[in-house]
Amino acid sequence: MDGIYLDNNATTRVDPLVVDAMLPFFTEKFGNPSSMHSFGDSVGRNIREARGQVQALLGAEFDHEIVFTSCGTESDNAAIMSALRTLPDRREIITSAVEHPAVLSLCRHLEEHEGYRLHVIPVDRRGRLDIDAYVAALSTNVAVASIMWANNETGNLFPVEQLAKLAKTFGIVFHTDAVQAVGKVPIDLKSSVIDMLSLSGHKLHAPKGTGALYVRRGTRFRPLLRGGHQERERRAGTENTTGIIGLGKACELALAHLTDENTRVRGLRDRLEKGIVESVGNCFVTGDAMGRLPNTSNIAFEFIEGEAILLHLNREGVAASSGSACTSGSLEPSHVMRAMDIPFTAAHGSIRFSLSRDNTAEQIDHVLAVLPPIIKRLREMSPFWSEGAPAKMAFEPEYA
Ligand code: PLP
């Protein structure tokens, strides 16, 4: 499909090399890896290879620390529920205010319906975690701390290694949702104390419906799905062989592209961001400019609605996403923007551009050509905007 796709934190295009790797597993290599014959046996070997590819991207010490799942959401749920079941006397959970719903809504459910005490750690205006509040919440009553590695909206990176070390001193299981981080930043779990880590295939050029959970060797584990003996009894269900092969290949490619992601893709993101901020007034980058994913830029445009910007960009062939969602007919800023206390007038107009290795400099130039006139037109129509005013930002983010 033609068009400029800048919504890679929502999902990515499956890499054609991933598709090629998967194809034989639909037809020739269709065996069930649990079967005791050559059809199954050979697929079993390919799954082991895929596990090794995921292990390599995560820098994990052992391949059996990787459990294949159906998505990031399943991995998050499996990790948190396992921690709670292995530590039944501990009735508290720590998480952050900006987690993906895959973590946050599960934690809220556990609070409301199962009586757990939930510590939701706040963030500041740049979306940085309040470490003091995190430390204050730690105790031997807490079973699990689940803090994301990278935020999907702002791209902010959290100091998960430091947080994991702090948690360990209280015997707390530390889980991180690394769905947005894997393949974008280097990860070396060998030299880490993180107990569990979630990833999702469709965020790194593998198909949807694939994912994995890293479970450090020695971590006690209770499966979410019970049934057959697959995945060393940690995730029942006949393996999604094609998906697993695709995920493995995608991880191999992600490792090979990691430098590109951190140099060329970062350069494109910076060029886009700088170009927009310089040519469009009354806008600012949300998030932590110093500690972000290399591919993500979230920009708040004052006095206009993000949805309107998206519609106009879409007409120009550009796909991005907004930080507000339509709930009951009104546009509500996302829980992330609200947690950061970004004023309504700006949070409403926040747009997330998320790049991938598929993007080119020409595409970025196209966006830089079409976006400023769109913003100008929309502001002219906005009841909150009058020509020439406000010359100054209504809200200046507190950058150090
Ligand atoms: N966690 C984060 C940070 C995400 O961005 C997403 C997807 O957007 C998920 C979890 C859920 O992953 P999946 O779509 O594979 O269930």
DSSP for 273-297, please give it: HHHHHHHSSSEEEES-TTSB-TTEE
Q: Which atom of ligand 1 is nearest to the CA of 71?
A: 15
User: Could you tell me the residue range of the domain that residue 130 belongs to?
Assistant: 16-256
The answer to whether residues 65 and 98 belong to one domain is yes
Active site (annotated) includes residue 326: yes
pLDDT tens, 150-172?
A: 999 999 999 999 999 999 999 99
In a domain, 5, yes or no: no
User: Any residues with Cβ below 6 Å from ligand 1, and which?
Assistant: 71-73, 100, 102, 148, 152, 177, 179-180, 200, 202, 211
The contacts of residue 16 (CB under 8 Å, 6+ apart) are none
- The pLDDT assigned to 400 comes to 38
Spacing, Cα 203 to ligand 1 middle (Å): 8
The one-character DSSP state at 265 is: I
Q: Which atom of ligand 1 is nearest to the CA of 211?
A: 15
| Residue whose CB lies within 8 A of the most ligand 1 atoms, among 9, 12, 68, 73, for a mutation test | 73
As a whole number of angstroms, the distance between CA 176 and CA 179 comes to: 9
What residue owns the CA closest to ligand 1's atom 12? 72
What residue owns the CA closest to ligand 1's atom 7? 10
Question: CA 333, 321, 263, 253 torsion: positive or negative?
Answer: positive
The answer to whether residues 134 and 263 belong to one domain is no
Q: Any idea which residue has 């948690």 for tokens?
A: 167
Question: CA 69, 70, 76, 78 torsion: positive or negative?
Answer: negative
The answer to whether residues 104 and 220 belong to one domain is yes
In a domain, 391, yes or no: no
Of 256, 289, 309, the position where a domain reaches its end is 256
As a whole number of angstroms, the distance between CA 161 and CA 310 comes to: 36
The answer to whether residues 165 and 227 belong to one domain is yes
As a whole number of angstroms, the distance between CA 386 and CA 26 comes to: 59
In a domain, 104, yes or no: yes
Q: What are phi and psi of 379, to 5 degrees?
A: -70, -35
Of 256, 283, 299, the position where a domain reaches its end is 256
First to last CA, the chain: 42
Spacing, Cα 76 to ligand 1 middle (Å): 9
Number of folded domains that form the chain: 2
Angle at 174 between CA 229 and CA 295, to 5 degrees: 95
The answer to whether residues 183 and 275 belong to one domain is no
What residue owns the CA closest to ligand 1's atom 5? 152
- The pLDDT assigned to 323 comes to 72
Positions in the chain whose pLDDT score sits under 50? 328, 399-400
What residue owns the CA closest to ligand 1's atom 14? 72
| Residue whose CB lies within 8 A of the most ligand 1 atoms, among 12, 146, 180, 200, for a mutation test | 200
pLDDT tens, 113-140?
A: 999 999 999 999 999 999 999 999 999 9
| Residue whose CB lies within 8 A of the most ligand 1 atoms, among 11, 98, 100, for a mutation test | 100
Asked if omega into 390 is within 30° of 0 (cis), the reply is yes
The answer to whether residues 332 and 291 belong to one domain is yes
Helix (H) or strand (E) holding 30: none
Which among 140, 143, 99 has a CA at the least distance from the CA of 120? 99
As a whole number of angstroms, the distance between CA 263 and CA 246 comes to: 25
101, 336 Cβ separation under 8 angstroms: no
- The pLDDT assigned to 167 comes to 98
In a domain, 200, yes or no: yes
In a domain, 395, yes or no: no
- The pLDDT assigned to 388 comes to 58
As a whole number of angstroms, the distance between CA 241 and CA 46 comes to: 9
The answer to whether residues 143 and 280 belong to one domain is no
Q: Which atom of ligand 1 is nearest to the CA of 202?
A: 15
The answer to whether residues 262 and 246 belong to one domain is no
CATH of the domain at 139: 3.40.640.10
- The pLDDT assigned to 190 comes to 98
79, 213 Cβ separation under 8 angstroms: yes
Q: Which atom of ligand 1 is nearest to the CA of 74?
A: 16
